[in-house]
Amino acid sequence: MANIQEIARLAGVSTATVSRVINRHPYVSDLTREKVLNIIEQLDYVPNSNAKSLKNGATKVIGVMGVTYNPLLMSLVRSFHMISQKYGFNIMLFMTDGDRDKELVALEMLRSKQVDALLCLVRTIEWDIIESYTKYGPIVTWQRLTSDTIPSVFMDQYQGYTLGLEYLYARGYRKILNVYSSKGQNTLERIRAYEDFVQKHGLKNTGFPQFHNKVTIHDGEEIARWWIEQTDKPDAISCSTDEVAAGILTEIQRSGFSVPDDVGIMGFDNTDSAHLLDLTTIHYPVDKQAENAFNIIMSMLENSASNLHPLQFRLIERKST
């Protein structure tokens, strides 16, 4: 394979001059530049990006670490990938399925300079372990975290969930069933939002169960079957995700009930499925979170100020309520 030394020999110039031509630096005459470029074309020479990375200490790769795939997470990854590419970065995806060893692989790649930074979407490994790796490069998280070394782009789920509950109350719903995802900090904030909501409006205890770890369409279908069997039915269901809401809506309608006449259904996230099924939902601006995450990483890499988007939940009213 051709190398920079061979190009320099054939062109009768120094390797430094060839390097300046390849990197489009000034201070090279037009005649010399043309001669070097012609030889590069003849030899079909491609610069070694790994060698360039080792020289300047940057890989132009950002690791993205998550546990599993879901529509909201992949929407965030897509937005993060798009802005990364815009600035000449690629991403390396680490989907760990909750395997601590796989999470450590991502962290070790940061330590060995195989990636420039990490975006931690969801993790199972302890935060103090992750924080110990911040000396090797920037780490930013999507999860709720207060840390001196790991910036977070989380949004306050208390605010988002309260926005949905107050909307349901204004629409006349009083017997609300809550469907939650995993028992993390975000879910605890949604539970707190509901407890404060009940106290604020003086609502009676419905006696309905709390559904936890429900995030998929199949989970929604299961909850719909529970709703169908009840004699004292909730008049509204506030869901952890649009996917759960979609499962509930379609299963209830398949069973001959009407939405919203028999029950109102509210999703969360404003994904494509919510738009397709006319689900009322809470818009969760993951695209702006992704851009904020990238901007924070760039500010840490370049030691500059970060330009961040303001983040706000927004109610999207559709036919399901």
| Per-position DSSP letters for 30-86, written without gaps between them | HHHHHHHHHHHHHHT----HHHHHHHHT---EEEEEESS--HHHHHHHHHHHHHHHH
Q: What is the DSSP letter of 204?
A: P
Q: Is residue 321 part of a domain?
A: no
Per residue in 107-137, pLDDT (tens digit) is 999 998 889 999 999 899 999 999 999 999 9
> What's the residue count for the chain?
321
Instruction: Assess if residue 145 is contained within a domain.
Output: yes
Domain tally for the chain? 3
pLDDT of residue 279: 98
Please list, in sequence order, all residues whose beta carbon lies within 8 angstroms of the beta carbon of residue 82, skipping any fewer than 6 positions away. none
pLDDT of residue 49: 57
- In 3D space, the residue among 235, 160, 215 whose CA is nearest the CA of residue 193 turns out to be 160
Is 25 among the domain residues?
A: yes
Q: Within a 10 A sphere around the Cβ of 82, how many other Cβ atoms? A: 14
- Do the domain assignments include residue 256? yes
Going by their DSSP bridges, the two strands 117-120 and 61-66 should be labelled as: parallel
Cβ neighbours of residue 168 closer than 8 Å, sequence gap 6 or more: 176, 236, 238, 264, 266, 321
- Residue 247, domain member (yes or no): yes
Print the domain residue range for 32. 4-47
Same domain, 77 and 193: no
Separation between Cα atoms, residue 144 and residue 132, nearest integer Å: 18
- Model confidence, pTM: 0.79
Q: What letter does residue 317 receive in the DSSP assignment?
A: -
Q: What is the CATH number of the domain that holds 270?
A: 3.40.50.2300
Does one domain contain both 220 and 118? no
Q: Which has the closest alpha carbon to 168: 238, 258, 262?
A: 238
Q: In the prediction, which pLDDT does 53 show?
A: 54
> Are residues 119 and 87 part of one domain?
yes
d(CA 94, CA 106): 7
Q: What CA dihedral angle connects 206, 212, 217 and 218, to 10 degrees?
A: -100
Shared-domain flag, residues 161 and 279: yes
Radius of gyration of the chain (CA): 26
**Residue 223, pLDDT score:** 98
The verdict on 272 and 306 lying in the same domain is no
Residue 166 lies in a domain: yes
The pLDDT, as a whole number, for residue 296 is 96
**Do the Cβ atoms of 88 and 60 come closer than 8 Å?**
yes
Which residues in the chain show pLDDT less than 70?
1, 48-57
Q: Are residues 250 and 143 in the same domain?
A: no
Q: Do 236 and 269 lie in a common domain?
A: yes
Residue 106 domain flag: yes
Shared domain for 169 and 269, answered yes or no, is: yes
**Residue 315 included in any domain:** no
The CATH number that applies at residue 31 is 1.10.260.40
Residues 162 and 130 in one domain: no
Nearest CA to 224 out of 243, 260, 250 is that of: 250
Q: Are residues 249 and 261 in the same domain?
A: yes
Could you tell me the end-to-end alpha-carbon distance of the chain, in angstroms, rounded to an integer? 66
* Whether residue 77 is found in the same domain as residue 94: yes
Instruction: Say if residue 272 is in the same domain as residue 177.
Output: yes
Q: Which string of DSSP letters, residue by residue, matches 106-144?
A: HHHHHHTTSSSEEEESS--S-HHHHHTTGGGS-EEESS-
